[in-house]
Amino acid sequence: MNGSRINRFFPYLLLLPSFLILLPFLYWPTLQSFIMSVYREAPFGARKFFCGAYNYVNILSDPAYLNSLWRTLLFTALVTGVGLAISLLCAVMLNQKVRGAKLYRTFFFIPYAISPAVAASLWVFLLNPVAGFVNYLLYSLFHIQPPWLTDGFLAFVAVSMASIWKDTGFNILFYLAGLQTIPESVIEAGKIDGASPVQRFFKITVPLLSPTTFYLVVMNLIFAIFENFGIIDIMTAGGPANATNFLIYNLYRDVFINFRPGAAAAQSVILFVLIIGVTIAHFKYNGENVHYQ
């Protein structure tokens, strides 16, 4: 009887140290955000009063916030979809048995190892309208010099390119590991059956990589929504004309520029619900297409 009770609580006992570490750094701030979101608060907490759902109603009826929401969804879909497609293509090429393959793989992983601020600074130099290499190349070939960071549409494209480039190394690393777990005998069986390289890729390789893709979709959603603040801040600061004012940057502005902590807390809760909802939907509707060996 006593042994059975100890066995029942033993897993919780093992989890207790992790919970105690996460409590002050993760769970308590999250709870504080929920609490702050139902208060209107003066800057630096000098004065506050309970306002119920006012912050949520005010935010969700603000056209500027809804515009930022749609831009964020488009940005997230673009960065996740295009980023994973490019990463898979690069991983397939890097998985070939050629001399110096390990060196090439290291080069592709470097962007993930640098900070978002450094990555953004590199792209600002590359896209400089006067001295940037990209505009130099475009002018040499087509006699055009696009205003990458001062035009709304091009700024959106530029931030998307920088974000995809930054996360590509992470995706390639996982895709390479997944490709190397595919048994050679399965590929050989496809060849014997007369499947072309394209058919082997889409009928064998892609389905066997579905667990890796499933994981990377979730991680890239989180990267696109939460971890591109540094790139946005350095490259465009949310502009021009709010073209790159995504949800995470809008939240930053409300806290540190507009001094509206209650509204910012409500936005953080909306972001939390958004990412949880997308992740649950991804597990529910795409989980059936994941094939484990």
CATH number reported for the structural domain that contains residue 159 in this entry: 1.10.3720.10
Domains held by the chain: number: 1
Q: Report yes or no on 188 lying in a domain.
A: yes
Write down the H helix ranges in 23-151: 28-36, 54-60, 63-94, 101-113, 116-126, 133-142
Length of the chain: 293
Q: Report yes or no on 52 lying in a domain.
A: no
* The pLDDT of residue 287: 63
Q: Which pLDDT tens digit goes with each residue over 235-282?
A: 999 888 889 999 999 999 988 888 888 888 999 999 888 888 887 887
Q: What is the CA radius of gyration of the chain?
A: 23
Q: Report yes or no on 55 lying in a domain.
A: no
The helix/strand/coil state of 243 is: coil
pLDDT band at 291 (very low <50, low <70, confident <90, very high): low
Q: Which domain holds residue 270?
A: 62-287
Q: Report yes or no on 42 lying in a domain.
A: no
**Between residues 279 and 58, which one has the greater pLDDT?**
58
Q: Report yes or no on 168 lying in a domain.
A: yes
* The pLDDT of residue 185: 87
Q: Report yes or no on 54 lying in a domain.
A: no
pLDDT band at 289 (very low <50, low <70, confident <90, very high): low
Rounded distance, CA 162 to CA 180, Å? 28
Q: Report yes or no on 83 lying in a domain.
A: yes
Q: Report yes or no on 6 lying in a domain.
A: no
